[in-house]
Structure 1
Amino acid sequence: MKKRLGRGLDALFGEGVVSTDKNLDIEESKKEDIERIEEIDIDLIDLSENQPRKIFNEEDIEELADSIKSVGLIQPLVVQKKGDKYILIAGERRLRACKIAGVQKVKCIVKEFENPLEIALIENIQRKDLNPFEKALAFKRLMDEFGYTQEQLSKRLGISRSKVANTLRILNLGKKIIDLIIEGKISEGHAKVLLSIVDEDQREKLAQLVVEKNMSVRELESIIKSNDEKKEFEVESEVIREIEENLMKLFGLKVRIQKKRNRGKIEIEFSSDEELEKIISILMP
């Protein structure tokens, strides 16, 4: 029977995990879905080629390694048996730290998964330290390789459909901005605001400004709003200049339009009675 992960690590470490103790209850061992905890030689554990997370904070791993040296590995890794070796499903950061700490055997939950890639993707998505770009890639892989729609994926992960859609849009950002996201210089909030900019060059300039000025998401929104208002004013000014030129051709006189918000006035200059009569004749034929 196909079993799928519904609650991330809760499902991985939930019911069915049993000890390898010799006094294991016989009836418990007859359950259909039994997981076991084993001490496994660290050299027998291979990383999955499909690991969604690509970026690791080396400083954090060093700190975790120090902790493991002091108190040991508290949370087991999750692996799947493959021949004489094991494939890591969850816990690459912990595995890396164990290697740095010089640990020879690590505690692991050994379990069979029908779709280990799907499990690894969902488990990583639910972890807070996955960067926005990696999260977007994981979403896309789940949709491409397991046939999820955005609606199905949102239900599967327990998030809104708009959250799924907005995260996937991050993949549309240019390489320069994606690199800034991967480096942690731009947050997911910044990325979503930048997506409102159509012009790619302008988007990259704003992204660089965010980094240089250490701008918050709200400050970035304010700048974009200000730029939009400026563009709107420039477009309106261009329209008004065009109208002035057409009126000057019509009257053969200097015309000026003054406008503020929804109010304003049109001034037509004349320097003789003849020019005034010409204006009147045009306005009141």
Structure 2
Amino acid sequence: MAGERRWRACRMAGLNDVPVVIKEVSDEQAMELALVENLQREDLDPVEEATGIRELMTRCGLTQEQAAQKLGKSRSALANSLRLLNLPENVLELLKSGFINIGHAKVILSLPTPELQEQAAQIIADNQLNVRQAEALCKKLAKPAKEPREPQPRGTLPVEVEESLKQVLGSEVNVAYHDGKGRLTVHFYSDEQLRAFANLLGQYQNEE
């Protein structure tokens, strides 16, 4: 039920006699002891450990604090381990297979959506990024793209003025208008066209 690893270690050490404790336990206690024993193996990957902790808590009705005490861990360390199970399955597979490590996984958890988490994990694995580089990548991915600003409606007056002046001057006209102020731009493409504009303005002045 429990202690097999220690028994094997004693055999390897050549010990003939080892101290043992024989207990009468219920089926529930036996299951708990077996789960705790399994979680103390050194060859568990982070995903197996997190899955085992969740199973221990679920099957034995333990809180995080109680599970942490039985496993000899701090509650924060146990909570961080459980958080790994919030990652998408594809990311967990990369973690189990060693393409990313637990440091990478903690950084990836900062991303808001599974899609971004999968994208980050694949980039980290493909490019063999270290944790610091992974942090920079996740900050970049988490920053929302700036939406293009919608042009502000100019109202009908600037548009009407542009159209009227285009007809009178026979050239491109732009009116930049805001709160009763702005800029009027008249385009010309030759000296003759510029003189024609000047003459036209002079005629308006003479009429006044």
Task: Indicate whether the TM-score tops 0.5.
Answer: yes
Q: Residues 7-56 of structure 1: CA distance to partner in whole angstroms, max 9, x if unpaired?
A: xx7xx96xxxxxxxxxxxxxxxxxxxxxxx7x9xxxxxxxxxxxxxxxxx
AA of the residue aligned to 2:183: F
Aligned to 2:191: none
Aligned partner (choices 67, 70, 75) of residue 161 of structure 1:
75
Tell me whether 1:246 sits opposite 2:147 in the alignment: no
AA of the residue aligned to 1:246: Q
Aligned partner (choices 172, 194, 201) of residue 86 of structure 2:
172
Contact persistence 1:150–1:164 (CA under 8 A) = yes
AA of the residue aligned to 1:140: R
- Aligned-residue sequence identity (percent) comes to 32
**Structure with the higher fraction of residues in strand conformation:** 1
- Label 1:255 to 1:211 Cα distance change in 2 as closer, same or farther (>3 A): farther
Aligned partner (choices 148, 163, 183) of residue 270 of structure 1:
183
Aligned length: 159
In structure 1, list runs of 5 or more residues that go unmatched.
Answer: 14-36, 40-67, 77-106, 257-267, 273-285
Rg bigger for which structure?
2
Instruction: State the shift of 1:110 in Å.
Output: 8.2
AA of the residue aligned to 1:270: R
In structure 2, list runs of 5 or more residues that go unmatched.
Answer: 159-174, 186-208
What pairs with 1:53-64 in structure 2 (closer than 5 Å)?
none
AA of the residue aligned to 1:209: I
- Label 1:123 to 1:226 Cα distance change in 2 as closer, same or farther (>3 A): same
Aligned to 2:59: 145
TM-score w.r.t. the length of structure 1 is 0.46
AA of the residue aligned to 2:113: D
CA RMSD of aligned residues (A): 3.7
Aligned to 1:192: 106
- Label 1:110 to 1:194 Cα distance change in 2 as closer, same or farther (>3 A): same
Tell me whether 1:203 sits opposite 2:117 in the alignment: yes
Q: Residues 190-243 of structure 1: CA distance to partner in whole angstroms, max 9, x if unpaired?
A: 2222222232222212111111111122211111112334x2xx33x53xx13x
Contact persistence 2:68–2:74 (CA under 8 A) = yes
SS of structure 2 residue aligned to 1:143: helix
**Structure with the higher fraction of residues in helix conformation:** 2
- Label 1:251 to 1:202 Cα distance change in 2 as closer, same or farther (>3 A): farther
